[in-house]
Amino acid sequence: MGEALKEKVMNATEKKILLTAFEPFGGETVNPSLEAMLAMTGVEFPGAVLTVLELPVDRFRAVEMTSARLRLLRPDAVIMLGLAIARYRITPERVAINVDDYRIPDNAGNQPAGEPIIEGGPVGYLSTLPIRAITERLLKARIPAAISNTAGTYLCNRLFYGVMHVIATEQLPTLGGFIHVPYMHEQALNKYPDVPSLARETIVEAVRLAIDVTLGIERRKDAG
Ligand code: PCA
């Protein structure tokens, strides 16, 4: 067997995971979700291949770009990341709702007020990621975490809903879900009134652990 073919056969059992994060928005120069996603490109996930995708904070393009990548890659899981301002913890989201209602315009100037994401679509989609196991794993690592019951009504909820809709209607073999992360400390330093934040390394570690749990990876250094 040729080397290239051998490699292909060996990789056939590897799991594929797609990780997305958003560009900065709302006057910020960084987005902690993007920082965490980029940090993951240097991490090895045994038995898995990670693909990352940076998304624009654009009502239409974010879902389109992710859907296109999903159809091509057909990954085992897609984990979508975003910033949730004013949260104290890493929050795996339980549900996406069929509502677009933006407090501020997106980076392309769209600001829908109470519109459905998919006309006639289901009211909501539940995450199919192991959100409870992820949350428990983070808490065990002493990282503040909790399941959230609302992803809001801005871009993150729209991406989550739009992607779950594609997975459901096109019967893709992909588990999907969204995880919100808080500000990093350096973003919160000069903000009034006070806003909660976590250390960059904590957010990075949380995302790494969430991927591990989703893929069923146990690392020796995490034990105990
Ligand atoms: N957070 C926003 C959109 C982009 C991001 O990182 C949200 O929570 O909807």
**Residue 85 pLDDT:** 96
Residues labelled catalytic: 93, 156, 180
Cβ of 152 closer than 6 Å to ligand 1, yes or no, is yes
Residues of the chain above pLDDT 70, percent: 93
Ligand 1, pocket-test mutation among 34, 57, 195, most atoms within 8 A of CB: 57
Cβ of 182 closer than 6 Å to ligand 1, yes or no, is no
Nearest to 206 by CA among 190, 189, 187, 184: 184
| Cα angle for residues 63, 145, 135 (degrees, 5° grid) | 80
Strand partners of residue 18: 51, 78
**Residue 1 pLDDT:** 56
What does the pLDDT average to over 51-66? Answer: 98
33 alpha carbon – ligand 1 mean position (Å): 9
Atom from ligand 1 closest to the CA of residue 81: 6
Cβ-based neighbour number of residue 5 at 10 Å: 9
Q: How would residue 82 be classed by pLDDT, with cut points 50, 70 and 90?
A: very high
Q: Is the pLDDT of residue 34 over 70?
A: yes
Cβ of 181 closer than 6 Å to ligand 1, yes or no, is no
Residue 99 and residue 64: Cα distance in Å, rounded?
Answer: 17
Cβ of 154 closer than 6 Å to ligand 1, yes or no, is yes
Q: Is the pLDDT of residue 135 over 70?
A: yes
**Residue 8 pLDDT:** 59
Q: Residue 148 has which token pair?
A: 């959230």
Q: Is the pLDDT of residue 223 over 90?
A: no
Q: Residue 86 has which token pair?
A: 């004013």
Residue 38 and residue 56: Cα distance in Å, rounded?
Answer: 15
Q: How would residue 10 be classed by pLDDT, with cut points 50, 70 and 90?
A: low
Q: How would residue 5 be classed by pLDDT, with cut points 50, 70 and 90?
A: low
| pTM score | 0.94
Q: What is the mean pLDDT of the chain?
A: 95
